[in-house]
Amino acid sequence: MPELPEVETVRRGLAPLMEGRRILAAVARRPDLRWPLPERFAERLTGRTLRRLDRRAKYLMADVGPDANGVDEVLVMHLGMSGSFRIEPDTGPPETPGDFHMPRSRLAAHDHVVLRMEGGADGSATGRTGGVEIVYNDPRRFGAMFLLPREGLAAHPLFRDIGPEPLGPDFTPEALARALAGRRTPLKAALLDQKVVAGLGNIYVCEALHRAGLSPERAASTLTAPTGHPTALIVQLVETIRTVLEEAIEAGGSTLRDHAQVDGTLGYFQHTFRVYDREGGACTSPGCRGTIARLVQSGRSTFYCAACQR
């Protein structure tokens, strides 16, 4: 499952090609992904201008303006386990920013939704001005797309219980202390709870806990003082989570196995993991002689160093 940095990488890649542009044609090549597509999906999107592309947790949020009845709507998209967007320009191959590897499969059988965008300067290094097709490819079809009214969107069942964005101003030591107070669940499980913080997944929680020197097994409540105030450990953890995510976004996302950048390439951050998928490797923390171990928590692999994570 792509995590927040992967989704943010996709958003940043698509935004220059979609924001402020009209959808000349939308094509749905099947009636469903994980769930049925909205009624008259392609018809309702065709001709509308995509005003802004945002992200909430692991969802992409495209503001497509008013429908035929004047109701402002948002195209909500989730990549699921293997979904990705591919940019197909009028001429030439997809541009490949940076030094990447492992091209994404482009099997037409898995191209389920296509958005034909009007041309216009996209601000890229190539100065591409022609139209492009944004192709949603999803071999496993665990992704999803919804058209939802903008009014009341925060109260929709998809979003009403999602916690603060870890890179936003509401994710503070005080907020995390309140969320963890009284929770006896293991710290890693608590951070994976989307009600506590939005968008965190298995990979980056493992990485953040290692950098912060915190055991994934310790009770979540131990990071909150008896008064309910944040401890120094929570202050450090909040800062570390931000740093890990920002580094991953800068590197283009971890892109494990199926996940790919919008231009069909994979990024490098997966090669800089300190603990994730490094069972038996030496701990990289300064002065630590420990070995990376693996345990299973709630059916998911946890990678950590028992010597320096307490």
Structural contact between residues 145 and 75, judged by C-beta atoms closer than 8 angstroms:
yes
Residue 30's Cβ-side half-sphere holds a number of Cα atoms within 13 Å equal to: 18
- Using alpha carbons, select from 267, 237, 227 the residue that is nearest to residue 104: 267
How many C-beta atoms lie closer than 10 Å to residue 62's C-beta?
A: 26
In a domain, 164, yes or no: no
pLDDT for res 127: 45
Crossing angle of helices 4-18 and 232-251, in 10° steps, is 50
Find out whether 140 is annotated in a ligand binding site: yes
pLDDT at 256: 43
The answer to whether residues 177 and 246 belong to one domain is yes
CATH value at residue 227: 1.10.8.50
Position 88 scores a pLDDT of 84
Task: Indicate which residue of 58, 86, 128, 278 is catalytic.
Answer: 58
Whether 2 is catalytic: yes
Question: What pLDDT, in 10s, does the model give residues 18-46?
Answer: 999 999 999 999 999 999 999 999 999 99
User: Are residue 134 and residue 178 in the same domain, yes or no?
Assistant: no
pLDDT of residue 244: 95
Task: State yes or no: is 188 an active-site residue.
Answer: no
Domain that holds residue 297: 173-305
pLDDT in tens, 150-167: 999 999 999 999 999 999
Asked whether residue 110 is marked as a ligand-binding residue, the answer is yes
Q: Which residues contact 273 (CB under 8 A, 6 or more apart)?
A: 203, 207, 254
Does residue 224 form part of some domain?
Answer: yes
Tell me, what's the pLDDT at 99?
28
Confirm if 278 and 301 have CB atoms less than 8 A apart.
no
Domain with 63 in it: what CATH number?
A: 3.20.190.10
Q: Which two tokens stand for residue 227?
A: 């008064």
> Residue 183, annotated ligand binder?
yes
Q: Which of 106, 242, 274, 300 is catalytic?
A: 300
Please identify, among 91, 122, 155, the residue that sits at the C-terminal boundary of a domain.
155
Would you call 58 a catalytic residue per the annotation? Answer: yes
Query: Low-confidence residues of the chain, pLDDT below 70?
Result: 91-106, 120-130, 253-271
- Asked whether residue 225 is domain-assigned, the answer is yes
